[in-house]
């Protein structure tokens, strides 16, 4: 009888196939190095495996689908105000980036010619806004009572624009591909294990990936967008200090409903406020650089 089989004729279960994980680790290193880019505005190393043309097409497709299912306001004072805020932020972007390149030695720049900017106002109680890859933006009217003024709304919109110009969507897609491949590799490496032991191990890997990689990665994007969005608003001559009151109101709005930070895709409101306060001197300096009479 084959030594690999017991008296029952069933194949004995073994341990981990470590060679599968070694191969995956090697591929992960190769993938990172071959798709490594420097983020604009910050100079941070990021992994992106899509082109801007692909991102623009995906953003446009998603935008059209959202608008088809939404009640879009076509005109009025609110629409005009939102469009004017967007215009100022978009105009400030290349100027701010040029300033950061000259003063901080950042090499990467945004391919501004690829962006097809458009902003819509959606009549909804949802307190939200977004900017998709390629520059398609929307502001939901539910955010307006929380923002209360143009300065705070510019902070919100600057944050969303920052997600787009920093290519966070493309980064998340690349990360998801590797997470899926890692799940396949983990499944292959544990295929000879006892079924119950394998189930527990795969569940632990899933939880570890979620709380140790995916959620922290998302929170880091939110923090980066907070920072760059604050600088964009300041360069567009909005008052960066409005960000503090905004997040105090956002925190009050979410009180009792927000999950613990380690379970969330976003940092807590208190942590965001602390970081914004730490960036305030920098934001005020940028505002003074770009605006004739900052108040």
Residue 166: exposure state from Cβ atoms within 10 A (0-12, 13-18, ≥19): buried
Gap between the Cα atoms of 87 and 90, Å rounded: 5
**DSSP tag of 210:** I
Gap between the Cα atoms of 89 and 108, Å rounded: 20
Q: How many percent of the chain have pLDDT more than 90? A: 56
Catalytically active residues, by annotation: 160
Domain extents in the chain: 36-290
**pLDDT tens, residue by residue, 245-268:** 999 999 888 766 666 665 676 788
pLDDT of residue 8: 44
pLDDT of residue 7: 42
List Cβ neighbours of 236 (8 Å cut-off, separation of 6 or more).
Answer: 88, 89, 91, 92, 154, 158, 290
Q: Percentage helix, strand, coil, to 5, in the chain?
A: 65, 10, 30
Q: Which of 106-110, 130-134, 194-198, 220-224 has the lowest mean pLDDT?
A: 194-198
**pLDDT tens, residue by residue, 111-130:** 999 999 999 999 999 999 99
């Amino acid at each position: 009888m084959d030594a690999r089989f017991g008296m029952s004729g069933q194949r004995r279960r073994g341990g981990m196939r470590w060679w599968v994980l070694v191969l995956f680790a090697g591929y992960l290193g190769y993938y990172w190095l071959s798709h490594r880019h420097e983020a604009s505005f910050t100079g941070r190393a990021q992994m992106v495996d899509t082109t801007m043309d692909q991102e623009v097409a995906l953003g446009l497709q998603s935008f059209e689908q959202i608008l088809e299912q939404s009640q879009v306001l076509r005109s009025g004072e609110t629409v005009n105000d939102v469009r004017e805020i967007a215009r100022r932020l978009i105009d400030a972007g290349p100027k701010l980036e040029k300033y950061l390149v000259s003063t901080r030695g950042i090499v990467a720049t945004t391919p501004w010619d690829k962006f097809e900017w458009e902003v819509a106002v959606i009549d909804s109680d949802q307190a939200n806004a977004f900017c998709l890859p390629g520059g398609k933006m929307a502001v939901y009217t539910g955010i307006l009572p929380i923002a209360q003024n143009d300065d705070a709304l510019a902070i919100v919109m600057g944050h969303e624009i920052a997600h787009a110009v920093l290519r966070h969507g493309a980064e998340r897609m690349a990360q998801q591909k590797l997470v899926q491949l890692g799940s396949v590799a983990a499944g292959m490496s544990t295929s000879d294990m006892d079924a119950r032991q394998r189930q527990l191990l795969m569940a632990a890997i899933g939880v570890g990936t979620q709380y140790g990689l995916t959620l922290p990665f998302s929170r880091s994007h939110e923090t980066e967008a907070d920072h760059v969005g604050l600088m964009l608003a300041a360069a567009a001559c909005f008052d960066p200090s409005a960000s503090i009151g905004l997040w105090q109101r956002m925190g009050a709005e979410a009180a009792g409903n927000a999950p613990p930070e380690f379970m969330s895709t976003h940092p807590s409101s208190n942590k965001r406020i602390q970081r914004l306060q730490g960036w305030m001197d920098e934001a005020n300096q940028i505002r003074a650089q770009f605006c004739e009479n900052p108040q």
